[in-house]
Structure 1
Amino acid sequence: MVGSKLIIYGGSDGGECFNDVWVYDVDAQAWRLVDIPVTYRRLSHTATLVGSYLFIIGGHDGNEYANDVLLLNLVTMSWDRRRVYGLPPSGRGYHGTVLYDSRLFTIGGFDGSEVFGDVWILELAVHAYYSQISHFTIEV
Structure 2
Amino acid sequence: MRKTVPATPVAPWMGGKKALHRRIIERIEAIPHRTYVEPFLGMGGVFLRRSWRPRLEVANDLNGEITNLFRVLQRHYPQLMEVMRFQITSRREFERLRACDPATLTDLERAARFLYLQRLAFGGQLGGVFAV
Same fold (TM over 0.5): no
Q: Which has the larger radius of gyration?
A: 2
Higher share of residues assigned strand = 1
Return the structure number with greater relative CO, CA threshold 8 A, min gap 6.
2
TM-score (norm 1): 0.22
Higher share of residues assigned helix = 2
